[in-house]
Amino acid sequence: MTDDAADLAEFLLARIEEDERIADHVASVSPTTDTKFCLWATSSPSTQERMIVAADYRRVIAECAAKRSIINDFLVASDPALTTLERVLMQLASAHQDHADYRDVWRR
């Protein structure tokens, strides 16, 4: 695995942790478990904390788990699965192209 690929996995895991932290917070303060009508946002976005809206925090938490599983598969994969999974990670990272830590080398 290249250094760029390892950095890509680390970058994505950090974004997942951010999303999980916010979704977990929303889940802890939500007055209802009915997420169909639950709309929350972080109160004070800054460079450290992105503003995200959790329209369905359960789905956000499930998506984080799915993304983490893909990254874990990548970290233990061998060729040719490694190449395919690296391309999947690049696609996942493309949603964060505006993040300061995003690298152009991941854009393909």
Nearest to 103 by CA among 20, 9, 1: 9
Q: What is the pTM of this model?
A: 0.76
DSSP code for 40: E
Q: The tokens 């391309």 sit on which residue?
A: 87
Q: Which residues contact 5 (CB under 8 A, 6 or more apart)?
A: 74, 82, 86, 89
pLDDT band at 25 (very low <50, low <70, confident <90, very high): confident
Mean pLDDT (whole number) for 30-34 = 63
Mean pLDDT (whole number) for 2-18 = 92
3-state SS string for 51-69: CCEECCHHHHHHHHHHHHH
Is pLDDT larger for residue 29 or for residue 81? 81
pLDDT band at 71 (very low <50, low <70, confident <90, very high): very high
